[in-house]
Amino acid sequence: MITVTATACYQNCAPLTYPLDLSNPTDTVDSRMGKYTVEQHRLTHRGREFHFVSYEGQAANPKRKQPAIEPAWFLMNAGKRWEVMPHQPKQESEELDRLFTEWLEAHVFMTA
């Protein structure tokens, strides 16, 4: 068994350790992380390009009184993000185009 050390500088730069059992081929840092895959989708609508990114949900945190957050698609622009709709993995590109176009019309161009 070996220990992998990484430094995380969020508040006090404390080293994080992950003991790995090399005799077990499935025991890796990656196997301990979630299986969520971030998806990105670009859409050109009314002559403008829009960039949508999916984000993983978060479990509820009762200590901080924070509710659970479901995985969702967000519109990205100028370093900000706006929640668009729930994320459903492996949706067809054509369906996403339709759903994002409807959302843009209702919330950005305000025609719906």
The predicted model scores a pTM of: 0.64
Backbone angles phi, psi at 90, to 5 degrees: 65, 35
Instruction: Please tell me whether residues 50 and 86 are part of one structural domain.
Output: yes
Instruction: Please enumerate in sequence order all residues whose Cβ is within 8 A of that of 39, keeping only pairs 6 or more positions apart, or say none.
Output: 53, 54, 87, 89
pLDDT for res 18 = 47
The 10s digit of each residue's pLDDT in 44-85 is 999 999 999 999 988 999 999 999 989 999 999 999 999 999
pLDDT at 96 over 60: yes
Residue 3 banded pLDDT, cuts 50, 70, 90: very low
Same domain? For 60 and 82 the reply is yes
Classify residue 97: in a domain, yes or no: yes
Q: What is the mean pLDDT of the chain?
A: 78
Which regions of 13-67 does DSSP assign to beta strands (E)?
Answer: 15-20, 40-45, 48-55
Is 112 a domain residue? no
Residue 46 in any domain: the answer is yes
Q: Which domain holds residue 18?
A: 2-32
Residue 41 has pLDDT above 60, yes or no: yes
